[in-house]
Structure 1
């Protein structure tokens, strides 16, 4: 059975949509349906399926327009296009743009099911050897965010290779959890996973920690030490906060990666190692390279595949899910019976700024559970744990006003205060555009580069 694979079906023919849904559910797939491309995008905004099957000719947004919209934000999500108006040029054009396959109606059900299985397999969502659900690799990464799901789909794909992975994300977003997940999804999962925080070890000791040392090579070296590279041999080594690594050690690390050999401190002999490297940082390494703090050649060797973990503020839909998970685990550890957070308390959690991301949320949950004396955690407990002024999600009206003001300001900047050009870019007439500028008290003259100061 393939019930863990969710498919989004899109067709404006409701009879065909119902028939195809029945067939796919009978084959063991989870199915969500949408009668238009616009409705399909609404579904994708709240949940990420593993595959999209869409009709080509539909009223409003057609199948190719839907595909293009999907791949702007979900580049690894496979799309199969069905059409009663199929032709070889259509198929060639579609597949060149990245459509997984193009089938002409009436289609053979076995052919479609074969294409579905192939698409799921190639995108990392196939059935495991036992025919069961194979999501254990990502069990620690709790999410229902489409952005996170797309990133995890990329992680699953790269896990099947030996490519070096570079993870970028703010502190507390879960970079080490993602690195472990990639290791577990790879063929190296039965070998060691070793992690080191390059910023937490003094510079004088980091070389020895990574590459090992021989007995007597320095004061305190009372015995031989293999180092983390050799400890992770045939497995995965996470170099966390790689941006904090001293420039002199970066040169030695680059040599190890090129030669696949380490030379322990105090030794004249090199030892071969075979390790998959995952590196992570919260720093902007492009800026560090410009400043001369990070080697460009090392950066490109580490950054073969880049993954970006969104901040918690960018995936607020995960906050209730994560809070409930952390609460259940913490309450069990503390031997407390707590049902959950009050609606008002959850509203504060969802609206908080979360500079410390998921790690901060875990700390807040642990504190509120530890100090809770009732079955429901109150608003006051959450506010006390956050220790900052709670920020609420703005109303739709306020959010729209903020967007319009920022949008108009950007247009005036790029057009150098030229109202005619800005109105043309906004697809509005000059009178309406001036009205909008007046509403937000924006003076085009202030954006002219040649104005007098």
Structure 2
């Protein structure tokens, strides 16, 4: 059994020999040096999982060794061996990147336990690097993560369509990442310098829809004290993303169709037509052809939008991507929450056969709850929570309370802050820290 490769540096030859023998028996492969300058000159950090170095040594001390390896291999854990009087110095070194410190004379079992944690951390870092590399090395592959044939084809289609100034209909189930696709089409195309204006068609009341979309002239209605530019005109040179377009009332679909066909708008209360230079990308979670045949969606608008239709696969259609996505979401969540991973994140066994009705959005939530020590339904798991530090358990509880408060307040941070007795700025900071921002209406 190989528990890891350890570089051991101490100017006492007897201590090096003893460490090699004991750690070797325990399953570690140990290389020792009594001269730190020779060690840093000869050692390739990539071949080791952990460095153990004494702090007090003639010539080059342990802090210099730490600085050297921190510069060459930031993810290589360095453990410091200190005398009793060096503890404050070692604590300061941990703030500078040391993994841990052990006081001399050290307990052999404690050293093994510290090394196990350090090696696991190093291997976790390597695993995450491998996963990121496996997902691809380009920015697009970082956004549209997946090794499945469906995702490879989707990335190819996005790159092909990005520079073609044609309107696109993105279809897919809830949570598959339709807005991510729309943003990629914008960012990797010729309109990247323009605005990306996302409009949720289900969220704009019908009474103000025209004003929001097309703008209005001064005096167009009671309260219209001045002229207002609509979202379509504001997106000039860029992209308009019409999300959940199936929710747009039929009476308004005709007006949007005209704007798409004519590439011009007429602000409310104005007789002057204004040209708009935008690309339209629409998204729907339902079959718009079926909706149009049923009379719930205008057929002419459907045919206008569906010149190019880009389907986004569900997680059920690319199950091989689930472990990769889970590991990436969990590692990002751990970094955001300030939680140090003690082992590689693995998909919970009870979720391995899930149909993922919420798709990527659901998987991301499961990964974040797993990092916080919560169950797949957000309920605390005693076994998971008990292995977390007090700070991690407190953070998990606070995140769950805030998430519930936001849900009860229909996403309004103003109302949630009032109910929680927090300043809105404080609540906004906590929402950002715990990654709840996507589900909340952040008030400034």
Q: TM-score range by the shorter chain?
A: 0.5 to 0.7
Residue from 349, 352, 355 that aligns with 2:351: 349
State the match for 2:171 in structure 1.
Answer: 168
Contact 1:320–1:346 under 8 Å retained in 2: no
> Aligned-pair RMSD on alpha carbons?
2.4
Does residue 304 in structure 1 map to residue 292 in structure 2? no
Query: What is the CA–CA distance in structure 2 between the aligned matches of 1:172 and 1:251, rounded to whole Å?
Result: 28
Query: What is the CA–CA distance in structure 2 between the aligned matches of 1:252 and 1:206, rounded to whole Å?
Result: 10
**Secondary structure class of the residue paired with 2:330:** helix
Query: What is the CA–CA distance in structure 2 between the aligned matches of 1:278 and 1:157, rounded to whole Å?
Result: 15
Query: What is the CA–CA distance in structure 2 between the aligned matches of 1:276 and 1:342, rounded to whole Å?
Result: 40
The Cα shift of 1:282 comes to 0.3
Does residue 159 in structure 1 map to residue 188 in structure 2? no
Contact 2:144–2:151 under 8 Å retained in 1: no
The Cα shift of 1:338 comes to 2.1
Residue from 363, 366, 385 that aligns with 2:365: 363
**Secondary structure class of the residue paired with 1:139:** helix
The Cα shift of 1:159 comes to 1.3
State the match for 1:146 in structure 2.
Answer: 149
Query: What is the CA–CA distance in structure 1 between the aligned matches of 2:222 and 2:332, rounded to whole Å?
Result: 44
Task: Give the ranges of 4+ consecutive aligned residues of structure 1 lying more than 6 Å apart after TM superposition.
Answer: none
Residue from 317, 322, 325 that aligns with 1:319: 322
Greater CA drift, 207-216 or 252-261: 207-216
**Secondary structure class of the residue paired with 1:315:** helix
Query: What is the CA–CA distance in structure 2 between the aligned matches of 1:267 and 1:279, rounded to whole Å?
Result: 27
Deviations 1:134-183 (A, max 9, x none): 93245322111111111221121111211111110001000000000111
Residue from 262, 276, 280 that aligns with 1:277: 280
Contact 1:216–1:223 under 8 Å retained in 2: yes
Query: What is the CA–CA distance in structure 1 between the aligned matches of 2:370 and 2:137, rounded to whole Å?
Result: 34
**Secondary structure class of the residue paired with 1:351:** coil
Contact 1:340–1:375 under 8 Å retained in 2: no
State the match for 1:231 in structure 2.
Answer: 234
Distance change >3 Å, CA 162–CA 369, structure 1 → 2: same
Query: Where does 1:90-101 land on structure 2 (aligned, <5 Å)?
Result: none
Does residue 179 in structure 1 map to residue 182 in structure 2? yes
**Secondary structure class of the residue paired with 2:352:** helix
**Secondary structure class of the residue paired with 1:338:** coil
Query: What is the CA–CA distance in structure 1 between the aligned matches of 2:318 and 2:213, rounded to whole Å?
Result: 35
Q: Give the gaps of 5 or more residues in structure 2.
A: 1-135, 374-383, 401-444
**Secondary structure class of the residue paired with 1:323:** helix
TM-score, with length taken from structure 1: 0.51
State the match for 1:415 in structure 2.
Answer: none
Deviations 1:370-395 (A, max 9, x none): 23543699xxx9xxx9xxxxxxxxxx
TM-score, with length taken from structure 2: 0.52
Contact 1:240–1:279 under 8 Å retained in 2: yes
State the match for 1:14 in structure 2.
Answer: none
Paired positions, count: 246
The Cα shift of 1:351 comes to 1.5
